Amino acid sequence: MVKQERAARTRSALIRAAARVFADEGFATASLSTISARAGVSNGALHFHFANKSALAAAVQDEAAQRLRALTDAARAAHRGPLQTVVDATHQLMDALAHDVVVRGGFELSGDRSHRDGISLRAQWRQWVEQTLRCAERDGVLARGASWADGARVIVAATAGLEVLGGDDATWLSRHHVTRMWEVILPHLAHHRELERLVSAGSGPHTPSDLRRNTPGT
């Protein structure tokens, strides 16, 4: 049991370290020696858990996908309506990109042209937004003339832009920027009766944000 727990901790440390290195350097230039050093383990320990860099990248993407799924599931479970659900999930996603190195690394890998294997976090997010806006259209809460498809394209493009810009300047991921984005989008997307109930700043608990990246132990 002790060996299993130690192995699980080592694997987790390697995934966090790899996520940070992939986010900072990209897949092509990231080295396994850099990742193992950042994780505080030997190269032999790394190869015990992961056969190569592609396997390590896949593990980062898998873990990031689980965290993204948990985030969107939690937003939906609050039962605040489909549009507020998307608003809340967007705030939580941007906060995760600012503070959760595994989520950040997973999204960076999704946009890395040198690495096209594994789960695409961007595609996962797009599909969830599309599905949720279909529910909004079905429930009659979209503005006259607005469609779920047009709304999804705007939201996905806007959030992808914040994600990319946030890689260089984390202030783009702040609650203020996300709130302003929704203040522009919602009047064109939501039915006027629905608009009165929507909270652009997010209806869930606000996570204190100093916009720093996680340490490898986070």
Residue 158: partners with Cβ closer than 8 Å, 6 or more residues away? 181, 185
Angle (deg, nearest 10), helices 2-25 and 32-39: 130
User: By three-state DSSP, how is residue 211 classified?
Assistant: coil
pLDDT of residue 135: 97
Separation of alpha carbons 40 and 13, rounded Å: 8
Separation of alpha carbons 106 and 60, rounded Å: 6
Q: What share of the chain is helix, strand, coil (3-state, %, to 5)?
A: 70, 0, 30
**Tens of pLDDT, residue by residue, the chain (218 residues):** 677 888 899 999 999 999 999 999 999 999 999 999 999 999 999 999 999 999 999 999 999 999 999 999 999 999 999 999 999 999 999 999 999 999 999 999 988 878 777 789 999 999 999 999 999 999 999 999 999 999 999 999 999 999 999 989 999 999 999 999 999 999 999 999 999 999 999 986 654 433 333 333 34
pLDDT of residue 209: 39
pLDDT of residue 207: 46
pLDDT of residue 118: 73
Residue 184's Cβ-side half-sphere holds a number of Cα atoms within 13 Å equal to 8
Q: Name the nearest CA neighbour of 126 among 155, 169, 161.
A: 155
